[in-house]
Chain A
Amino acid sequence: MRSALHRFGVLCALGSCLCGGAAVAQPEDGQAERATQILREVDDLWRGSSSHARVAMQVKTEHYTRNMKMEAWSKGKEETLVRIVAPLKEKGTATLKSGNNIFTYLPRTDRTIRLTSGMMLGSWMGSHFTNDDLVKESRREEDYDAYISFEGERDGRQLLEFTLLPKADAAVVWGKLTLTVLAGSYIPLEEIYYDEDMQVARTITFSDVKPLGGRERPAVLHVVPADKPDEYTELVYESLQLDIQLSDAMFSLSSLRRR
């Protein structure tokens, strides 16, 4: 899904990451091949060559609650542009992800700053995502091996659960990821990040399935860090268009400054 969900790192967990033929692994070969096959289908469902979305973000932490509205464009896997629409104080602030680099435009000081490696692990826009999450998600398919770890009925629903194990040389801090999707429609329900001790580190739940970008998709994405269960970041898709015409100039430093 080189789609709208992409630029929010984690959320895209579902599609793109799992795609690609590289996804081989675990039990028997036949099983692994089937996982790859299904994940490709999941990915195809969500794939878009480009996207445009309007998203509302709510962040709740121990210290603040923050509501933002933003507009986001993406093209391919590597290019993403996010621009804040509200609140007024931050209106016009924009983030451009191009390859491994992240640039931020700050309208108040009229400066564009390229994030250094030291800032990569800092919070993105005060949310529970790091800048690194934005970069890493597009590498997901290279970084993980996937297999189906559960298939059948759970809580009255037919589900598929994938387990993603980071490859030995992948620059990933997690121990593993699990992704649960509805069998048949492949609509994602939940993604869980585990640390190296296989303790839950963060949980992403998908909900409010409704027509978006011409298909049924979950419009709400809810992230909870395991060490702070009272905090969350929630993304709500207000609109989504896929496979639209976007010029490369859209993802340049000069367009970053345009309001």
Chain B
Amino acid sequence: MKVNKLAWRNLWRRKRRTLITAFSIAFGVLLAVTFTGTGDYAYTNMIDASANMGLGHVTVEPRGYNETPSLDKRLQHADDTRARLLHLPGVSNAYVRILGQAMFASAAKNVGGVFLGIDPAAESGTHNLLLRSLVEGELFPAGRGHGAVVGSKLAEKLNLSLGRKLVYTTSDANGDIVSEIARVSGIFRTGADEADGSMVLLPIDAVRDTLNYAPHEASLVAVIVDDQRRAETLTQAIAAQVGNPQREVLPWQRTQPEIAGVVAMDRSGNYISQLLVGLLVAAGILNTLLMSVLERTREFGVMMALGMAPRTLFRLVITESLWLAVLGLLLGVIITVPWFLYLVYVGIDFSAAIGQDYSAGGVLVDPVLRIRLYRESALAILAGVFTLTLLSGLYPAWRAARVPPVQSLKAL
């Protein structure tokens, strides 16, 4: 207790220096929150957007489908599976879907693309980015109708507009070639060329008829989870629930490796940046503490001569660094909260810096820098700042404890 009080008092002997050091810690906190928070925000966005393009955060699919997707691989009783998964805690929703490649033709032209058979009664824009990006028309009604929601670029290529015919040709459950008609009921534009130029949503019942699927067969069940970070844990729970060796339950990292790769690379870049800034802050703390120890050499000499154990001196300096950390964190919270709130509610718009016609913002990258902080990220930052401060205090504390009493007194 006495050491505590002494340490606190020592800090305030050099007000300006202490405040500046505390402020540099605070600034470190601010940066860590900004870097981590923008990462958390951007990755969550990217992962959710990708999951909402069709495969979900977790996908239940026939074994081998992920490696070589084809329409002869299919799940039986997909609807039962879905119903069972809906009750799992952490599962936000699940969708039964048929995903396959097809040639799409109008009288004008034909192009290759991808169709996604969905149940219009179950789906909405909430977990379906394509539906959320509807710019014309509407989703087809439930049932065996011949509706289709097509990407804007595809519509352009095939010269399609609302109400127009679209013939899709693909291979059915037996590998035979089948073709079917659909009428455009809606057009979506996500801003991602790949989706807009090749994707078509079709009513799942009509697709089943076309593909000669049994009523409850589908390519996959796409599971959307409440929190993308729990996808891998939930994969286990879902696999246990599915419990069928013919089926594979895969998290988004496996089904959408490109996104996983981008996130992983960006995250490591982010961590390296944070590490470097952390080192800078640590250098600042070390500098401060070392200075203060150096200038108190005589003082420490006297204290030791008066019978204070080197260990107590060590503790004293460590406690000083601890108080510095507390002070820095406090200051950090004070300056970070308004900045954080600003980034949460307003954000920094980078689109001005990169030209106005930024159309590809929707899916992959948001031109507005926004922030979102997960609890564990916040805790990690707290822990990081404390550890860093304590570590920087080690050497000065060791120096202080090592002061030879006689020599330092001689300098008096």
Query: Which residues of A come within 8 Å of B, CB atoms?
Result: 99-102, 115-118, 120-121, 132, 135-136, 168-175, 195-196, 201
CB proximity to A under 8 Å, residues B154-182: 164-165, 167-171, 176-181
Q: How far is the CA of A100 from the CA of B181 in the complex (A)?
A: 16
Query: Which residues of B come within 8 Å of A, CB atoms?
Result: 101-103, 105-108, 110, 112, 146, 164-165, 167-171, 176-181
Contact B107–A121 (Cβ < 8 Å): no
Contact A117–B107 (Cβ < 8 Å): no
Given A117-B169, A121-B169, A173-B105, are A196 and B177 neighbors across the interface (CB < 8 Å)? Answer: no
Which residues of A lie under 8 Å from residue B101 when comparing CB positions? Answer: 117-118
Residue from B103, B107, B171 in contact with A201 in the complex, judged by beta carbons closer than 8 Å: B107
Contact A100–B164 (Cβ < 8 Å): no
Which residues of A lie under 8 Å from residue B178 when comparing CB positions? Answer: 100, 117
Contact B179–A120 (Cβ < 8 Å): yes
Q: How far is the CA of A102 from the CA of B101 in the complex (A)?
A: 19
Closest CB in chain A relative to B203 CB, distance in Å: 13
Instruction: Name which residue of chain A comes closest to B168, CB basis.
Output: A171
Q: How far is the CA of A58 from the CA of B57 in the complex (A)?
A: 55
Given A169-B146, A173-B167, are A100 and B107 neighbors across the interface (CB < 8 Å)? Answer: no
Contact B146–A132 (Cβ < 8 Å): no
Closest CB in chain A relative to B210 CB, distance in Å: 9
Closest CB in chain B relative to A95 CB, distance in Å: 14
Residue from B107, B108, B112, B167 in contact with A171 in the complex, judged by beta carbons closer than 8 Å: B167
Taking each of B146, B168, B179, B181, which has the highest tally of chain A beta carbons within 10 Å of its own beta carbon? B179
Contact A117–B181 (Cβ < 8 Å): no
User: Can you list 6 pairs linking A and B with CB atoms under 8 Å apart?
Assistant: A100-B176, A117-B177, A118-B112, A120-B169, A121-B110, A171-B181
Q: How far is the CA of A171 from the CA of B179 in the complex (A)?
A: 6
Contact B177–A171 (Cβ < 8 Å): no
Contact B165–A99 (Cβ < 8 Å): no
Closest CB in chain A relative to B154 CB, distance in Å: 15
Given A100-B176, A101-B177, A117-B103, are A196 and B169 neighbors across the interface (CB < 8 Å)? Answer: no
Which residues of A lie under 8 Å from residue B180 when comparing CB positions? Answer: 171
Residue from A118, A135, A170 in contact with B181 in the complex, judged by beta carbons closer than 8 Å: A170
Contact A172–B177 (Cβ < 8 Å): no
Contact B107–A175 (Cβ < 8 Å): yes
Which residues of A lie under 8 Å from residue B102 when comparing CB positions? Answer: 117
Which residues of B lie under 8 Å from residue A174 when comparing CB positions? Answer: 107
Q: How far is the CA of A101 from the CA of B176 in the complex (A)?
A: 7
Closest CB in chain B relative to A213 CB, distance in Å: 30
Instruction: Name which residue of chain B comes closest to A170, CB basis.
Output: B181
Which residues of B lie under 8 Å from residue A116 when comparing CB positions? Answer: 171, 177
Residue from A117, A135, A173 in contact with B165 in the complex, judged by beta carbons closer than 8 Å: A173
9 smallest CB-CB distances across A and B, nearest first, come from A195-B107, A121-B110, A171-B179, A173-B107, A171-B181, A117-B169, A117-B170, A100-B177, A171-B180
Q: How far is the CA of A174 from the CA of B164 in the complex (A)?
A: 11
Taking each of A102, A116, A172, A173, which has the highest tally of chain B beta carbons within 10 Å of its own beta carbon? A173
Which residues of B lie under 8 Å from residue A115 when comparing CB positions? Answer: 177
Which residues of B lie under 8 Å from residue A102 when comparing CB positions? Answer: 177
Q: How far is the CA of A99 from the CA of B177 in the complex (A)?
A: 9
Which residues of B lie under 8 Å from residue A135 when comparing CB positions? Answer: 177
Which residues of B lie under 8 Å from residue A118 when comparing CB positions? Answer: 101, 103, 112
Which residues of B lie under 8 Å from residue A101 when comparing CB positions? Answer: 176-177
Contact A132–B106 (Cβ < 8 Å): no
Residue from A120, A136, A168, A196 in contact with B107 in the complex, judged by beta carbons closer than 8 Å: A196
Instruction: Name which residue of chain B comes closest to A120, CB basis.
Output: B169
Instruction: Name which residue of chain A comes closest to B107, CB basis.
Output: A195
Q: How far is the CA of A231 from the CA of B112 in the complex (A)?
A: 25
Closest CB in chain B relative to A178 CB, distance in Å: 15
Q: How far is the CA of A132 from the CA of B179 in the complex (A)?
A: 10
Instruction: Name which residue of chain A comes closest to B176, CB basis.
Output: A100
Instruction: Name which residue of chain B comes closest to A102, CB basis.
Output: B177
Q: How far is the CA of A117 from the CA of B105 in the complex (A)?
A: 12
Instruction: Name which residue of chain B comes closest to A175, CB basis.
Output: B107
Taking each of B103, B164, B177, B181, which has the highest tally of chain A beta carbons within 10 Å of its own beta carbon? B177
Residue from B103, B169, B181 in contact with A169 in the complex, judged by beta carbons closer than 8 Å: B181
Contact B181–A196 (Cβ < 8 Å): no
Q: How far is the CA of A132 from the CA of B110 in the complex (A)?
A: 12
Which residues of A lie under 8 Å from residue B112 when comparing CB positions? Answer: 118
Contact B177–A195 (Cβ < 8 Å): no
Q: How far is the CA of A135 from the CA of B108 in the complex (A)?
A: 19
Known: A168-B146, A171-B167, A201-B107. 5 other contacts (CB 8 A): A102-B177, A116-B177, A172-B165, A173-B105, A173-B106
Instruction: Name which residue of chain A comes closest to B170, CB basis.
Output: A117
Q: How far is the CA of A118 from the CA of B146 in the complex (A)?
A: 21
